[in-house]
Amino acid sequence: MSGLRAWMVQRASAVYMLFFIVFLLAHFLVDPPHSYLAWRDWVTSPGLGVGASVFCAALLAHAWVGLRDVILDYVRPVALRLPALGLLGLVLAAIGAWLVRIL
């Protein structure tokens, strides 16, 4: 992924994450959960689950594009660049697997 596509992924993921965080903050200011049961019901609702899953996917995509660009721009030797990209991919895949498990 490069050029316009990477730019679009970076911007779209940032916009979604911003709106989701604003939604969460607004929800807690307007209608905070008053008990553990209310909190659990809200967190386990399907709408929030989908929104949180999309947030996590957007976060991983945003991290991949941003860190990949940093590695490509600042790690000059190819012998270091390829392992760094591979390690980044493995770390993000592990985080993604962990997020799937906890969500």
In terms of residue numbers, what domain contains 28? 4-102
Three-class SS state of 34: coil
12 Cβ contact partners less than 8 Å away, ≥ 6 residues apart = 58
35 phi and psi, to 5 degrees?
Answer: -150, 170
Is the overall model pTM greater than 0.75, yes or no? yes
Structure tokens at 6: 């990477």
DSSP state of 35: S
Three-class SS state of 3: coil
Q: Which CATH number belongs to the domain containing residue 41 in this structure?
A: 1.20.1300.10
- pLDDT digits 0-9 by tens, 1-55: 778 999 999 999 999 999 999 999 999 999 999 999 999 999 999 999 999 999 9
What is the count of structural domains for the chain?
1
**CA 80 to mean position of chain CA atoms:** 26
